[in-house]
Amino acid sequence: MTIKTNARKISSTHLARGSVLAMAVAGTLGAAPAAAQRDTSFGLEEVVVTAQRRERGLQDSPIAVTAVTGDTLRAGNILSYADLARSAAGVSFSEGSPLDQELNIRGVVSVRIDSPTSDPSIGVFIDNVYIGRTGQLNTDFFDIERVEIIRGPQGVLLGKGVVGGALSIVTAAPEQEAGGAISVSAGNYGDFKSYGHLTGALSEDLSGRLSYQMQNRDGFAKDILNNRDLEDKRSDQFRAQLLYQPDGGDFMARLVVDYSQDESNGIHRLGENINPDLAGTKSFSRGRAVVAAARGGLSRRESLSTHPTFVGDTDPTPQFLERESWAVSLNIEKGLGENMTLASVTGYRSGESDSLYSQTGIDPRNPYNLADMTVPLVFDSVVAEFEDFEQFSQEFNLSWDNESSRWEGLVGLYYQHTPIEKNDRFRGYSQPAVFEPPIFAPTLSGESNWFNKGTTDTYAAFGQVGFAFTDAIKLTVGGRYTSDEKDGRVRGLAAATGDFFNPDDTVPLTPLSPTFAEGEGYTANYDESWSEFTPQAILEYNPSGDFMAYFNVAKAFKGGGFEDTPANAAAAQISFDPETVTSYELGAKIDFWDGRARVNAAAYYMDYVDLQVTQTNAECLCNITDNAADAEVRGVELEVQLALTRELRLFGAASWNDNEYQNFVDSLGVDNSGNRLQRTPEHQFNLGFDYTTDFMNRADALNIYMNYAYQGDFKWDPDNITEEPSYGLLDGRISYSPNETLTISAYGKNITNEQYRVFVINFFGDEVASLGAPRTYGLEVVARF
């Protein structure tokens, strides 16, 4: 059997540069890259994907999967997980903190579930290796062959099972033919970025590849109290690879080493009073109002961030963010005869993340507030998070596929070991209340610390078998048995108590109060294990190359875990339960009009049991993870692509998602039954075009690409009080290629400068939020050799 590397997984119908993105299911962006040359065919072409651990065309895959090529990523400036989410209907992204980044597919998302023993609902895989921590989603996409967006539960084949869906990122592999590229871009906010790669043969059977990306950008927000940018960025990423593959042989080994680091002055938060239905003191918005009145205005992108002095320190610590990670992966494939392949996937990743940020963006000690003591309760809580992360994983799988037989199959084993150290420090500052009754003033100052070390060991066995009853009808059944073992040790410490303006006040702060006095705390050990069998069955009907339909029934499982910042030893030893989902999906994929038109559709229903939901509990000022009794999700996704002429291609996509919690009473006794799932819009759609034409006596030298992505309104929390209004984002790019080796582009993102929020919580009557990126634009020059 001939082994095919990732570099060769694009079929003979490889997407021409400038052609529209071939997609498997609707609800996603169908953008296409600008390019110097264009295929003469009018037809919509297709990418071969490996979402089912074997090569298969997107239009022949009986699951909801979308492939976005590396050229498309760069053409649309889709350079991060947030960009990818905002460019695909049915997918969204939010960022609660630098260590709490949340992907949402079809309404399934892990909100603020970031303890050392928690698992995300959406899995991310890089070169077949699972990435277990959302805080590791800091790197930008660079030198990527494609990203596969896999919708719905994946309980069988992806090494690590996931309940909501997955992103499978395939990096560009080394090639024998020498070549490379260098890109330099400059934009507003002082943005400078450079990207490049070099590949070629090291010997007859060995090839290598080096790639990098660097960026330096000023901040989107300003800390006017300390005269510092916020949300700035300084990042470096490097990747080195070796690919050993004897020509025409049955063996392949690919080694990939990654390094990335980024740093900034931290995130920007603001507290706003924009919802009259929220009950509370609304202290954050009141504090901002005082500052705005005193200085003649305060924009949504300005703050007065608190720089805390922690116990044991002599000087204040400014806001900051620092992240660093290393990763090594080794993929080996060995052909065993003509129709069988044995594969090994080994992965190791380690990293550190360290950050400090003001939760409200208003320091109660700011000079404007101190000059006007009539404002009731100005309060800020500063969060410092540190995480030391390691992960080792090993997968073995054996696959077979005989063209002369109607049988195919795959079996495998998986192991993952993940030790994590996570430290959380909360420092609060408040002014005394000047009205009756004094609600929080004596209690909301002090410092609480948690030092948490947790370990997860996952064992799994999986497999599936497919049988073709006829040339058009095929049934595939499979299953996975998963066992999760989680244990650890957490220490909670009330490091300091008392009000900032009244240091003699000894009433303590935070989740560790009023149980513990200053200098007191607890230490607790925790451990638990869970196991589950998750089956899957797929019936597909594929009578021709232009039409296929499928029905997919799947179950998936996500293990339980323990709280990140428990209030006491007893709470530290209480686990939240696993969640399970059973999904039913009916899909169809149709090509017509001589391959110039494509319609893909999918309808799904998902039944969740013990859905994990995290909320901020106002009684203890802590996050508590509940298991909602049930949740139901149903929806439809539709995508249409049209090659109207050789020059002009149109694309459009839409998704509808209806969902509700069932029998869900949260930790505060609030009945959320019947409410919509948090952070999930009912409607999303994308519309765009890709136009390539001759220019200055050169064929296909000019390309214009535009995409408009709309996201409907949604609720931020299970109580459905805090809402994000609908918004739309317009992106575009114009590229000119005077020759084969040079492309000059002008690009813009969020061209209409829409203000939208990527994170919101309800905190004592205010909406504490983080804003999405403003309008950005720039010029890029790419040279190929």
DSSP string, 567-626: SSHHHHTPEEPPEEEEEEEEEEEEEETTTTEEEEEEEEEEEEEEEEEEEEETTTTEEEEE
- Percent of the chain topping pLDDT 90: 53
Backbone phi, then psi, for 483, in 5-degree steps? Answer: -130, 125
> Quick check: helix, strand or coil at residue 432?
coil
Distance in angstroms (rounded) separating the CA atoms of residues 489 and 477: 40
With CA atoms as reference, report the closest residue to 645 among 19, 14, 12. 19
Tell me how far apart the terminal alpha carbons of the chain are, to the nearest angstrom: 33
Distance in angstroms (rounded) separating the CA atoms of residues 89 and 136: 24
Distance in angstroms (rounded) separating the CA atoms of residues 707 and 686: 7
Distance in angstroms (rounded) separating the CA atoms of residues 87 and 642: 19
Looking at residue 752, its amino acid is T
Task: Supply the pLDDT for residue 691.
Answer: 94
- DSSP at 449: E
Is the separation of the CB atoms in 184 and 781 below 8 Å?
yes
> Quick check: helix, strand or coil at residue 54?
coil
β-pair type (714-715, 723-724):
antiparallel
CATH node for 6-784: 2.40.170.20
Where exactly are the structural domains of the chain?
6-784
* Count of beta carbons in the 10 Å neighbourhood of residue 520: 14
Tokens linked to 271: 């507290």
Looking at residue 119, its amino acid is D
Task: Supply the pLDDT for residue 114.
Answer: 77
Distance in angstroms (rounded) separating the CA atoms of residues 154 and 460: 13
Is the separation of the CB atoms in 541 and 550 below 8 Å?
yes
Tokens linked to 66: 């979308």
Q: Which residues of the chain have pLDDT under 50?
A: 5-40, 433-443, 499-514
The residue count of the chain comes to 785
> Quick check: helix, strand or coil at residue 276?
coil
Looking at residue 764, its amino acid is F
β-pair type (648-662, 683-695):
antiparallel
Q: What is the pTM of this model?
A: 0.89
- Token pair 């022949």 is found at 60
Instruction: Specify the DSSP element, H or E, that contains 293.
Output: helix 283-295
Distance in angstroms (rounded) separating the CA atoms of residues 389 and 138: 14
Report the chain's C-alpha Rg in angstroms: 26
Task: Supply the pLDDT for residue 9.
Answer: 35
Backbone phi, then psi, for 320, in 5-degree steps? Answer: -165, 165
CA pseudo-torsion sign 673, 675, 679, 685? positive
Task: Supply the pLDDT for residue 523.
Answer: 94
Distance in angstroms (rounded) separating the CA atoms of residues 584 and 549: 14
